[in-house]
Structure 1
Amino acid sequence: MKFQIQSIGEDLYHDGIQGDDTRVRRIHHANGLRFFDRAGIVSDEATEMLLGKGQKSYKWNFNSLTQSEAVTYILRVLPIWICTIFSSSVFIQLLSLFVEQGSTMDRTFFKFQIPPSSMTAFDIISTSTFIILLDVLIIPLYIKVMKRPPKLPSELQSIGIGLCITIITLIVAGFVEQRRLSFASNDGKEMSSLSIFWLIPQYMLLGIAEAFVYVAQMNFFTSQTPDGLESLGMGLSMFSSALGCYVGNFFLTVVNKITSSGQGQHGWVSPNLNDDHLYRFFFLTAFLIAIDLIVYIVCAKRYKGI
């Protein structure tokens, strides 16, 4: 029995069936993962038999190269997706750790006691403010001054910028934690006299990093999936955040297990922050995010868009 692969020409861009929606984006043939092209192989006898029954039978019995190519594009975004899982875990983990920091600091504001969890408002404010200022003020002002539209970073570049800001956020958080510990040891009390407002810079940096990563991540996955599979791209973005919860919890457990002694001494992150080394955890996470950034850059450079 003879087999032939479908032509890598017009049949790749369209299914070659009359009545198809011509508004669907054309998918260019990828040089990698060529073995998926075998899904388009049909026998001469089967083709003649199916064509005798009509083109609809042909459509539902064999895959076109267009369909095979859609699978390859989904697989090619997976390395980028994997790199975003650890960054999502860091974003989720930091918010809870920042609240733990704030609970051991001076929370007095005039006659009020600031709830530590309310400081996350600075994260939300910085995220929304940055996005609004970028669209409403920064870009229009640039166009007015330079007389041309700015060259904005692509989705992949925006994710990389967000990872860089995340590293800076972790370093700042580590130094603030060291300062909090020094105030607590000097006072000889469980609560540090350092004001909780020292956490504002790291909250705002985290919000800007989230603005870069989450917005670009959502746009990237929805734009780089073939037409009809945009919901899958959105699902990948959300699944990255969901897995980040588990990865962050697992990472924290492993670090505590490794850094704790067998004599009942807690690890770097313990219930009593004055007896642990939370700043070391921040610096370690910054180092791992830097490694993740390097891997991400390699994957982003090798990626070829749809």
Structure 2
Amino acid sequence: MMLDVNNMEEGRSSLGLARWRAHARISFLLLCVARGFMALAMSGWQSSLITYLIKKFNFDPIFAAQIYNLANGCMSFLPLAAAIVADSYFGCFPVASVSCLISFLGIGIISLTATVSSLRPRQCTARSSICERPSMLQSAILYVGIALSVLGVGGSRFTMTTLGANQFDDEKLRGAFFNWSFFALNVGITTGLTLLLYVEDSVSWSLGFWISAGVNLIAFAVFLTGYRCYRHIKPQGSPFTSLARVMVASVKKRKLLIPSDSNAYYSRIQDNSEELALLPREKLRFLNRAAIISEGDVNSEGLIVKRWRLCTVQQVEDLKMLIGVSPLLISGILLSTPIAVQNSMTVLQASKVDRRLGPSFEIPAGSVLVLVMLTTTIWLTFIDCLLFPACQKLAGSLPTFLQRVGVGHVFIMLGMVVSALVESKRLHRSRHSNPDAASLPMSVLWLFPQLILVGIGEAFHYPGQLSFFYREFPESLKSSATAVVGATIGIAYYMSIAAVGMFRRRTTWLPQDLDKGRLDIVYWVLAAVGLTNFGYFIACACLYKPKEKTDDSDAVSGANLN
């Protein structure tokens, strides 16, 4: 499979076009492979975390699910902090490299807790009425391992993606990289949720975790191999500082009248930007005061001397762009929150059903989530190879990013509805089954439809969000755009923790034993939230005015991979 780079900018380096094409193909391949191996290493411990905490550390199931959601939230939120550090000081490559090493160290510590028996409490027995809790030292070592693993994954996840996106100037080529990077991510997670989770559940926790650590080390080596091929963008300082200056300057000049003459605004280029805004737009016009030139703001050479009182017109417009996409960011958070709750609760549901497939094989409870990743991977291929070409042929155009996200909303909302119906059936069967009969509990196959629907929704909304924000964010925030999507997922996991905590405090829906609760009502609430959020998203999408495009591509796919 080769990457068509004919549309890439010529002459940007002394390498020559032919050599640059070769480097682009190598970078594309190595970054996707490294991303896939990092995902495999991550899923090797993260996907089994709930079961490991319950079985080996004697944690309460709901508390274990909360730790799982907290870890997932941090892994999704930390990329934004990593992106800011990369943009401001070090660049993507150093941040991703150090993060890979930190992740390896964290997984190694988790592996030690599974290998050394003194690092975990004695296992509960069938005769034990009260299970031994982990000591302070045991808990501390476990939490340090989880924290380092989370920090490493969070620091490398989107800095690798941003480094890949920085290799290409053409939007279609970037879109292709996003698609295949997401494909590699799902393949890695799928492999971890099947092979590694089976090793941990059926062979040895220690072996499974050490394999994850080894895969992490392989990912690090693959990533380093491409150092000479990558295009390294020099950090330009934190773009968020300039945005903060716009807000401060607009407040300081709040009493000034807003002129209509372009000469009254400071529009000189302060960096390497190619675009120059001469007159700020009327939208959010109170921010325009930050670019009004007043006495003492510039020196005799026309350069800014009071940076917290005067900003460029482009900086003002950058802040307006960020504010403009904020409502859609909020919608993304509300979209991901039900998924976060469903992920952890489905693992607990799986522990209550018959997971046997055939006479001798039993699916580990944590492995049921592989169906989401597998469905997403299959549908990404279907969307890219069949659905989008069909749309192009029949309608003459490809679906926009927001249309793709909207389809994802619908499928995820349907997933919550099916989750509620299935859980209601499971509860009815568990409460009304004859204890003297030889009837088996509900089959794990009943959980598959809800996971498939969410997987289809992920295939539509996640790449759509990623490409939308990368295109719509200001030029100064391009490197942070991919991490923002991860941050919305992270906030969603935090919200899921708060939501589950609220359900436990205010209701009896989520007791320690799910058979005595009403998880189906929780799913109905999530479906209602999804329906409300979908209406909010439609309103935001209709009101949003996209940034002027520099080309005619408005979809994730379209790059030629052959």
Normalising by the residue count of structure 2, what TM-score does the alignment of the two structures yield?
0.47
> What is the CA distance between 1:62 and its match in structure 2?
3.5
Q: Which amino acid aligns with 1:286?
A: A
Change (3 A) 1:74 1:109: same
> What is the CA distance between 1:65 and its match in structure 2?
1.5
One of 313, 325, 337 as aligned partner of 1:89 = 337
The residue number in structure 2 matching 1:37 is 288
> What is the CA distance between 1:27 and its match in structure 2?
9.6
One of 184, 188, 192 as aligned partner of 2:430 = 184
> What is the CA distance between 1:228 and its match in structure 2?
2.1
Query: Is the Cα–Cα contact under 8 Å of residues 89 and 247 in structure 1 kept in the other structure?
Result: yes
CA RMSD of aligned residues (A): 2.9
> What is the CA distance between 1:98 and its match in structure 2?
1.0
Change (3 A) 1:138 1:86: closer
The residue number in structure 2 matching 1:103 is 351
* CA distances 1:6-43 after superposition (whole Å, capped 9, x unpaired): 7666998x934599543x48699543210111011113
Q: Which amino acid aligns with 1:279?
A: D
> What is the CA distance between 1:238 and its match in structure 2?
1.5
> What is the CA distance between 1:150 and its match in structure 2?
4.1
Change (3 A) 1:293 1:6: same
Q: Which amino acid aligns with 1:85?
A: I
The residue number in structure 1 matching 2:214 is none
Change (3 A) 1:27 1:105: farther
One of 244, 261, 269 as aligned partner of 2:510 = 269
1-structure distance, mates of 2:270, 2:369: 55
1-structure distance, mates of 2:283, 2:517: 49
Query: Is the Cα–Cα contact under 8 Å of residues 91 and 210 in structure 1 kept in the other structure?
Result: no
Query: Is the Cα–Cα contact under 8 Å of residues 280 and 316 in structure 2 kept in the other structure?
Result: no
The residue number in structure 1 matching 2:398 is 151
Query: Is the Cα–Cα contact under 8 Å of residues 279 and 313 in structure 2 kept in the other structure?
Result: no
One of 261, 267, 289 as aligned partner of 1:15 = 267
Query: Is the Cα–Cα contact under 8 Å of residues 83 and 295 in structure 1 kept in the other structure?
Result: yes
Query: Is the Cα–Cα contact under 8 Å of residues 258 and 289 in structure 2 kept in the other structure?
Result: yes
Q: Which amino acid aligns with 1:104?
A: K
Change (3 A) 1:107 1:41: same
The residue number in structure 2 matching 1:303 is 544
One of 200, 213, 236 as aligned partner of 2:461 = 213
2-structure distance, mates of 1:169, 1:27: 48
Q: Which amino acid aligns with 2:267?
A: D
Equivalent pairs counted in the alignment come to 287
Change (3 A) 1:19 1:6: farther
Extract unaligned runs of 5+ from structure 1.
260-266
Change (3 A) 1:19 1:123: closer
Q: Which amino acid aligns with 1:177?
A: E
Q: Which amino acid aligns with 1:151?
A: L
The residue number in structure 1 matching 2:95 is none
* Matching of residue 113 in structure 1 with residue 362 in structure 2: yes
1-structure distance, mates of 2:440, 2:458: 29
2-structure distance, mates of 1:84, 1:294: 13
The residue number in structure 2 matching 1:263 is none
> What is the CA distance between 1:81 and its match in structure 2?
1.0
* CA distances 1:56-78 after superposition (whole Å, capped 9, x unpaired): 55797842222111111111211
> What is the CA distance between 1:256 and its match in structure 2?
2.3
* Matching of residue 166 in structure 1 with residue 412 in structure 2: yes
Change (3 A) 1:223 1:177: same
The residue number in structure 2 matching 1:71 is 319
* CA distances 1:70-122 after superposition (whole Å, capped 9, x unpaired): 11111121111112112222112111111111111111111112112111111
1-structure distance, mates of 2:321, 2:279: 10
- The percentage of aligned residue pairs carrying the same residue is 25
> What is the CA distance between 1:46 and its match in structure 2?
4.0
Change (3 A) 1:301 1:290: same
Query: Is the Cα–Cα contact under 8 Å of residues 470 and 482 in structure 2 kept in the other structure?
Result: yes
One of 243, 250, 258 as aligned partner of 2:506 = 258
* Matching of residue 290 in structure 1 with residue 531 in structure 2: yes
SS state at 2:511 partner: coil
* CA distances 1:159-215 after superposition (whole Å, capped 9, x unpaired): 2221111111011111111221222233245x9621101111111111111122221
The residue number in structure 2 matching 1:245 is 493
Normalising by the residue count of structure 1, what TM-score does the alignment of the two structures yield?
0.83
Query: Is the Cα–Cα contact under 8 Å of residues 131 and 211 in structure 1 kept in the other structure?
Result: yes
The residue number in structure 1 matching 2:443 is 195
2-structure distance, mates of 1:82, 1:28: 29
SS state at 2:476 partner: coil
1-structure distance, mates of 2:291, 2:390: 52
Q: Which is further off, 30-39 or 178-187?
A: 178-187
Query: Is the Cα–Cα contact under 8 Å of residues 8 and 29 in structure 1 kept in the other structure?
Result: no
Change (3 A) 1:16 1:7: farther
1-structure distance, mates of 2:271, 2:501: 56
2-structure distance, mates of 1:93, 1:26: 44
> What is the CA distance between 1:251 and its match in structure 2?
0.8
SS state at 1:151 partner: coil
> What is the CA distance between 1:281 and its match in structure 2?
0.7
SS state at 1:228 partner: helix
Query: Is the Cα–Cα contact under 8 Å of residues 86 and 244 in structure 1 kept in the other structure?
Result: yes
Q: Which amino acid aligns with 1:35?
A: F
Extract unaligned runs of 5+ from structure 2.
1-255, 548-562
* Matching of residue 175 in structure 1 with residue 421 in structure 2: yes
